[in-house]
Amino acid sequence: MSADVIVIGAGVTGGAIAWHLARDGARVALIDAAGPACRPSASWASAGGLRSQGRHAADQPLTLMAAARWPVLGAELGADLEESFGGHLHLAETGEECAAIEARIAADRAGGLAIERLEAAQIREIAPEITPRALLGAYTPGDGQAHPGRVARAFAEAAEQDGAQLRFGQPATLLRDGDRVTGVAFADGTTLRAATTVVAAGAWTQALLAPLGLDLPIRARGLQMLLSDLAPRDLLAPTVTAVGRNLSLKQLRSGAFMMGGRWFARPTGRGQETAPLDAHAAKQWAGAAAILPRLARHRLVHQWAGTEAQSIDGDPFIGRSRPGLYLACGFSNHGFQICPAVGALVARDLRDGAEPLLAPFAPGRLAPDAAQLAAFRAEPILEVA
């Protein structure tokens, strides 16, 4: 069996790449040890925020591309993505924090983003239930949210309709011929060969690359999410973050509130699985209730954690690595919004070569020393108060 390109990982990134390649006529195989957005992957767990503001400079062109794409993506895929576009609101609660808002607005405007500066009264107009302590906001009206699991499944289905071969349910390892990656071998002994193999395997990337002697400066971390019971719908249109809080907050279509942020979860010892820490959940909920006081009257109904690949400098690794090997990983905390852009650009990069917008993400761009990398990976899970 062979293909032009094998994409390992059916999350939002791998799915977008496979779909764009298949749409362009390439013979693509999308493979995953489980399936699209399965526990405990990043795409399974992600809170699904579409936030274009507050991005690294290298991210900005991708973010703009993606922001133009999201409103039509559901129609392109023929799927309900639970998408909504109530904007994103980043809040300051103290005078000191206002400086960070001003700085973000300046940087994002420089990058060409339509970002608005909202005074307290304007914040209340957009989100009446937000704490009166919110003094200043940075607001990007085109942002919003979508359901990462639905998006990943829609990508895989669209890729299949465009001729991609889907192979889910078996772990695979990379096949090599000398220095060149030539495809994958599945657990059942069968193989699949391709000129290019794309590794978009999130937290599973390190284990896949280890036999090649490749050690990207990434680490796996479980991030935990909380879900509230249902509130009346349409109480909170924008997705919300705050300068002084480790928090992302949104109201879903159902009326439930979802709380994310970068709260680490506890490894369970079962593969890459992690489980939410109650100590973190308490702080996470308290932070959300400080921003949206009604949460004090709501109940936690579900919590989970997914494992994400975090890169040492916060930017993903996208591009050619060894011969026959292409990487797309390390997207933690900002991969979802840009996934349609990444899919389009990687497909172009593989077809035409040297896509300039991806140049800043070259896998070889960093050479951290061993001590730095060890310290990055050893950062404690539990936040000490």
Partner 1 sequence: MTDMLTPTERLLLDALFDRIFPPGDGTPGAVEIGAADYVATALGGPYAAHLPLYRETLAALAAAGFAEADGPGQIRLVAALEADTLPGLPRPAGHSAFDLIWRHLREGLFCDPAHGGNRGMAGWTLIGFPGAQNGFEEIEQTVGRKVARAPQPMAALSQDARLDAVPQTRPAAGPIAGADVVIVGGGFVGSFMALKLVRAGKRVVMLEAGSSRTGREHAMDELSATAFRNLGGTEKFNAEVPTWRLNPGSPARPASMSQGLETRLGGNSVAWGAVAMRFYEDDFEIHSKTVAKYGEDRLPEGHALADWPMSYRDLEPFYDEAEALLGVSGHAGGPREDGRSRGNPFEAPRKTPYEMPALRRSGLGARFAEAAEGLGYHPFALPAAILTAPWKGRHACTYCSFCSRFGCHVDAKASAQNTVLPEALASGLLTIVTGARVTEIVTEAGRATGARYRTKDGAEHVQTGRQVIVATYAFENTRLLLLSRDADHPDGLGNNQGQVGRYYMTRQQPSVYAVFEGEPVNRFIGPTAQAQAIADLSCDHFDHADKDFIRGGRIAVFNQYLPIEASGVLPPDVPRWGAAWRDFFVTNYNSISMLFLDPEILPSQNNRLDLDDSATDDLGRPVVRITFDIGGNEERMIPWLQDRAEEIARKMGATRTWRRPALTGPISTHDTGGTRMGHDPATSVTDGFGRVHDTPGLTVVGGSSFVSLPPVNPALTILALSLRAAEAVVADLAAAATEELA
Question: DSSP of 169-202, one letter per residue?
Answer: SS-EEEEEETTEEEEEEETTS-EEEEEEEEE--G
How many residues of this chain interact with partner 1, rule: CB under 8 A?
A: 32
By the rule CB under 8 A, 75 interacts with partner 1: no
By the rule CB under 8 A, 4 interacts with partner 1: no
The DSSP bridge pattern shows strands 300-311 and 256-259 to be: unpaired
134-173: which residues touch partner 1 (CB under 8 A)? 147, 149-150, 169
Is the Cβ of residue 182 or residue 333 nearer to partner 1 in the bound state?
Answer: 333
By the rule CB under 8 A, 80 interacts with partner 1: yes
Q: Cis bond leading into 40, ω under 30°?
A: yes
By the rule CB under 8 A, 275 interacts with partner 1: yes
Instruction: State in angstroms the smallest separation of the CB of 165 from partner 1.
Output: 18
Distance, in Å, from the CA atom of 353 to the CA atom of 24, rounded to the nearest integer, reads 15
Backbone angles phi, psi at 338, to 5 degrees: -90, 0
Query: Is the Cβ–Cβ distance between 228 and 332 less than 8 Å?
Result: no
Alpha helices in the chain (DSSP H): 12-23, 42-45, 60-77, 95-110, 120-126, 148-161, 205-209, 278-291, 335-352, 370-378
Is the Cβ of residue 40 or residue 61 nearer to partner 1 in the bound state?
Answer: 40
Candidate segments 64-72, 90-98, 157-165, 294-302, binder of partner 1 by CB under 8 A? 294-302
Candidate segments 191-199, 299-307, 311-319, 321-329, binder of partner 1 by CB under 8 A? 299-307
Instruction: State in angstroms the smallest separation of the CB of 38 from partner 1.
Output: 4
By the rule CB under 8 A, 235 interacts with partner 1: no
Q: Which residues bind partner 1 (CB under 8 A)?
A: 34-35, 38-39, 44-45, 80, 82, 147, 149-150, 169, 225, 227, 229-230, 252-256, 258, 270-271, 275, 299-304, 306
